[in-house]
Amino acid sequence: MTRSLISELAQRLGKSEEEVIQFFQILWQVMPPSPETQPYFFRYLDERFMRLEDRYTTLRQEMEQRLESLRKEMLQQIEALRKEMQQGDAALLQQIEALRKDMGQQTEAVLREVQHGDTLLRQEIEAIRRHIERMKKWLFALTVPVFISMLSILGILLQAFLSR
């Protein structure tokens, strides 16, 4: 693009490209371009904005770090809680299993006691039944002599009553 500008100027001025380049080189030496400086207020504002931007960037980085550390801490706490819950579940399952075994043993013990009590009750009932049978036989054995004695007493009373 520079060459086309120089060629255009050379053609319009009726000069050669080398003469135009020499002109610009001399012009550059005579009038060096001065750097533009901004007014003081704009430099002040730029500096303040740069400070604010640096502070914002620093605060943002700090917040991101804090958030990351909080996130890590929360993840650790969640993991610890999950492990505690798993251990609690395992302990609860063990307690339930122990209670189930204990209840089974107690049920078996009660069943044995009931069976034993049933056996004893049957034995006592059988003993009472035999005792009643013996009592019946004994009463029957007593009833015959008592009946004969009563008949004899009645006979004696009848004779006494008739002999009068």
**pTM here?**
0.37
Mean pLDDT throughout 61-67? 93
pLDDT grade for 112, boundaries at 50, 70 and 90: very high
Rounded to 5°, angle at Cα 98 from 95 and 99: 85
Spatial CB neighbours of 3, under 8 Å, sequence gap ≥ 6: 17
Cβ-based neighbours of 92, under 8 Å, separated by 6 or more? none
- pLDDT value for 76: 94
Percentage of residues in the chain with pLDDT exceeding 70? 92
Please give the pLDDT value at position 3. Answer: 63
Question: To the nearest 10°, the Cα dihedral for 10, 15, 21, 27?
Answer: -100
pLDDT at 28 over 90: no
pLDDT at 66: 93
Secondary structure letter of residue 31 according to DSSP: S
